[in-house]
Amino acid sequence: MSMVSIKTYTGPVTLCSRCGQPSFTDDEIGHQHFMEQWDGIHCPRYPLAGEPITMNWNQMSLDQIKAGYPDTYPYSSLSAGVQA
């Protein structure tokens, strides 16, 4: 399962009907959570998500949601500062 960052995701952001957290739908995998949620939510379907709830976000509120998630995924910063 590929993990997708909420901070860089540009597609439609929905809510998980099981836990109410932001989620998205991948054409191959289906409805799932973002990688930043790996240690902060307790969804019984994680890393997948329940049925999507469509939101009519305004851009400011969506930007605030995205900015509110810290970079806590354990492998996302391993290559930070490493140069080839």
What was the pLDDT predicted at 39? 78
What was the pLDDT predicted at 20? 93
pLDDT over 80 (residue 84) = no
* H helices present in the chain, as ranges: 59-67
CA angle 70, 30, 4 (to 5 degrees): 25
pLDDT over 60 (residue 55) = yes
Q: How confident is the model at residue 34 (pLDDT cuts 50, 70, 90)?
A: very high
pLDDT tens-digit readout, 56-74: 999 999 999 998 887 765 5
Entry pTM: 0.77
